[in-house]
């Protein structure tokens, strides 16, 4: 960024402008490169953020109850797939058609709780 600013300042000086104009051009060019070019280069260098495709990415999602869910289990539709599910609170159960909130993924089972 500084090299780009120095190049611009040098070109301004070479063109016959006064020294103060070259210094101003250097400052403006350097600031512009830092403010506008640096973020673009950082994004390109670090690449896109990795897409989390793990099961834990489903935590916090909303699921639709397909088969009554209780302490012993049931089924929910989660992100377009059918999952085994159990209630986080063994005394709580959910009926077919209800929407629930995924609290955790325990192996192949979604642990769910009411959506409120």
Average pLDDT over residues 96-113: 91
* pLDDT score of 26: 95
Model confidence band, residue 49 (pLDDT cutoffs 50, 70, 90): confident
* pLDDT score of 53: 64
Parse the chain into domains and list their residue ranges: 2-46, 55-114
Beta-bridge partners for 102: 112
* pLDDT score of 48: 75
* pLDDT score of 35: 94
Question: Does residue 115 carry a pLDDT above 70?
Answer: no
Mean pLDDT of the chain: 89
Residue with tokens 């300042």: 9
Question: Does residue 77 carry a pLDDT above 80?
Answer: yes
Element (H, E) at 11: helix 2-14
Average pLDDT over residues 52-64: 82
Domain spanning 55-114 has what CATH number?
A: 2.40.50.140
Q: DSSP label at 48? A: S
Question: Within the chain, how many helices (H) and strands (E) appear?
Answer: 3, 5
User: Is the whole-model pTM more than 0.75?
Assistant: no
Helix residue ranges per DSSP H, 15-87: 19-32, 38-46
Angle (CA) 50 80 113, round 5°? 90
């Amino acid at each position: 960024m500084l090299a780009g600013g120095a190049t611009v300042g040098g070109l301004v000086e070479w063109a016959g402008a006064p020294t103060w104009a070259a210094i101003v051009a250097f400052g403006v060019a350097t600031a512009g490169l830092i403010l506008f070019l640096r973020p673009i280069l950082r994004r390109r260098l670090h690449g896109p953020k990795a897409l989390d495709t793990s099961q834990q990415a489903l935590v916090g999602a909303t699921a639709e109850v397909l088969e009554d869910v209780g302490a012993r289990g049931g089924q929910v539709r989660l992100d377009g797939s059918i999952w085994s599910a159990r209630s986080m609170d063994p005394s709580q159960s959910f009926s077919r058609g209800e929407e629930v909130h995924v609290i955790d993924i325990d192996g192949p089972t979604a642990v769910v709780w009411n959506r409120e």
